[in-house]
């Protein structure tokens, strides 16, 4: 079935309180997708972010980002007051997230909401009955929730330090020390549990509304977890750790023409032999949890399942690492056995080896075709005439500059090539971007995903992430009232012409 969708992170939604969230703007965007004939909304990872604010370095592979909790919903539930929220300084630039002010402003508001929630549960029988699913939520998500909330509470009590720098009795998960922490930090633990409950409740409303409008959610699953995460702390058996629970290997990329010392990412490496002995149960739980969030999962760094680069812990560069074999189809067979049909998209970008291509073929997952990568050579893997139906075509991804800026930045030879290939001219950037989008729509790829910035012909000011850079990433937001009826009609016309209107 041919369909199309839009790539647009939740944090980039417009809204009142500093960051895109599950407010009315999320529902309006779903209305926009429906009216535009789009069957998919692709988002970025929704885990709780830490230092650097990257959604690919979350504190948990199972939890949700509390920044996405709608304050308006908490006001409606009488857990907050409008004047409280309006008095907070979230920054004066509505096109950019100020994460410093967001942390200083949102966390106290969420803590105030938790205090009122807890008090009402104890004093108001009717309210407690209406929220009896709070205890059911905690029971259902016990596998990860208890450890995550304890992790966050201990982290807060230790000034935000990485768990690797905690006192040994807590770092090594001494039973008596954890029991003591649970008692002393009971209120803080319940606060983090309340955040996850609110996140879940609000996201479920967004997802249900999307289903009503025949819009499916594509989520994004980071291949690795963050070193400073509840996962690495509470499940060391999943990762390459020594007897002192210190990492032995970390992730990265080998040296190449672009980086003579390689890339040192620092994520913990999976102990695939240990995972295999337990039928990959942690991965089964992780994927199962993500299907609670999403209709379809895009797996980041799919090549890592074929082979991955492991670097000795505490190395200063990535030069001394080694390339090791990943679990391959053994993992996906185990997942299919437990979970049935896997609705996944493989992020297979980068250096394609015969082993990578075989794994993609054996898995049956569609890979990605990014048009911005297509015009560096006449026989590029990403050129439209080389696409196959079982694939997803993009103009660009969250890691690319918007197509207008890309067109301005490429060299003259590439610019001439792309103009000839898609039959357009270089003298009108706006026309070029829409012709470029049209090229994606006419691909034989079953699914076509376009970043929202391309439809709006935005430039580099709307870039979401620049790999390798630490500043100005994950901050772009759409201004209110930019999604017009004219834009709806223009997008829908493309979907109709190229047979991508979703079936009811």
Angle between helices 24-35 and 485-497 (to 10 degrees): 40
Active-site pick, 281, 399, 408, 435: 399
Exposed, middle or buried by CB within 10 Å (0-12, 13-18, 19+), for 142? exposed
Active site residue 347: yes
Q: Which of 383, 373, 440, 437 is nearest to 410 (CA)?
A: 373
Q: How far apart are CA 330 and CA 326, in angstroms?
A: 9
Q: What value, to the nearest 5°, has the Cα angle with vertex 140 and ends 8 and 10?
A: 10
> Quick one: residue 45, left, alpha or beta (phi over 0 = left, psi -120 to 50 = alpha)?
beta
Catalytic status, residue 228 = no
Task: Judge contact between 318 and 262, C-beta under 8 A.
Answer: yes
What length is written for the chain? Answer: 504
H-run or E-run covering 494 = helix 485-497
What are the tokens at 228?
A: 């400073």
Concatenated DSSP letters of 234-253: H-GGGB-B-TTS-BSEEEEE
SS3 (DSSP) at 417:
helix
Which of the following is catalytic: 3, 190, 300, 454?
300
Is the alpha carbon torsion for 487, 488, 489, 491 positive or negative?
Answer: positive
Write down the catalytic residue from 147, 188, 347, 348. Answer: 347
All residues at 6 or more sequence positions from 257 whose CB lies less than 8 Å from its CB, including other chains: none
**Furthest CA-CA distance within the chain:** 72
CB 305 within 8 A of CB 280: no
Q: Tokens standing for 61?
A: 């592979």
Beta strands in 417-479 (DSSP E): 447-451
Active-site residue set: 300, 347, 399
């Amino acid at each position: 079935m041919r369909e199309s969708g839009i790539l647009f992170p939740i944090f980039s939604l417009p809204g009142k309180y500093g960051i895109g969230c599950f407010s009315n703007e999320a529902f309006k965007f779903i209305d926009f997708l429906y009216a535009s004939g789009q069957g998919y909304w692709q988002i970025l990872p929704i885990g709780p972010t830490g230092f650097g604010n990257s959604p690919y370095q979350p504190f948990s592979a199972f939890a949700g980002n509390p920044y996405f909790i709608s304050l308006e919903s908490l006001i409606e539930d009488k857990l907050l007051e409008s004047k409280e929220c309006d008095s907070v300084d979230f920054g004066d630039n509505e096109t950019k997230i100020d994460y410093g002010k967001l942390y200083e402003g949102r966390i106290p508001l969420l803590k105030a909401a938790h205090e009122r929630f807890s008090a009402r549960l104890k004093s108001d029988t009717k309210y407690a009955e209406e929220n009896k699913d709070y205890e059911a939520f905690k029971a259902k998500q016990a596998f990860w929730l208890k450890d995550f909330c304890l992790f966050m509470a201990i982290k807060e009590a230790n000034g935000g330090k990485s768990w690797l720098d905690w006192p040994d009795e807590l770092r090594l998960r001494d039973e008596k020390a954890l029991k003591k922490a649970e008692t002393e930090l009971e209120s803080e633990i319940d606060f983090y549990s309340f955040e996850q409950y609110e996140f879940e409740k609000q996201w479920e409303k967004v997802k249900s509304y999307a289903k009503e409008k025949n819009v499916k959610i594509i989520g994004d699953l980071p291949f690795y977890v963050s070193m400073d995460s509840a996962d690495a702390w509470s499940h060391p058996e999943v990762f390459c750790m020594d007897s002192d629970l210190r990492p032995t290997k970390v992730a990265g990329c080998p040296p190449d023409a672009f980086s003579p010392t390689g890339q040192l990412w620092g994520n913990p490496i999976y102990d695939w032999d240990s995972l295999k002995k337990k039928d990959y149960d942690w991965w089964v739980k992780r994927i199962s949890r993500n299907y609670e969030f999403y209709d379809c999962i895009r797996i980041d760094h799919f090549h890592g399942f074929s082979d991955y680069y492991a670097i000795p812990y505490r190395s200063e560069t990535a030069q001394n690492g080694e390339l090791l074999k990943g679990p391959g189809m053994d993992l996906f067979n185990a997942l299919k056995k437990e979970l049935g049909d896997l609705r996944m998209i493989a992020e297979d970008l980068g250096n394609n080896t015969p082993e990578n291509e075989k794994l993609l073929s054996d898995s049956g997952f569609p890979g990605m075709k990014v048009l911005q990568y297509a015009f560096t050579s006449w026989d590029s893997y990403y050129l439209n005439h080389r696409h196959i139906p079982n694939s997803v075509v993009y103009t660009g991804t969250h890691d690319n500059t918007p197509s207008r800026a890309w067109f301005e930045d490429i060299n003259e030879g590439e610019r001439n090539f792309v103009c000839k290939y898609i039959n357009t001219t270089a003298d009108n950037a706006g026309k070029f971007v829409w012709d470029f989008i049209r090229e994606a729509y006419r691909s034989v790829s079953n699914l076509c995903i376009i970043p929202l910035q391309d439809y709006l012909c935005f430039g580099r000011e709307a870039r979401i992430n620049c790999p390798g850079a630490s500043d100005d990433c994950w901050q772009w937001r759409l201004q209110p009232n930019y999604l017009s009826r004219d834009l709806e009609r223009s997008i829908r016309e493309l979907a109709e012409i190229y047979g991508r209107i979703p079936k009811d």
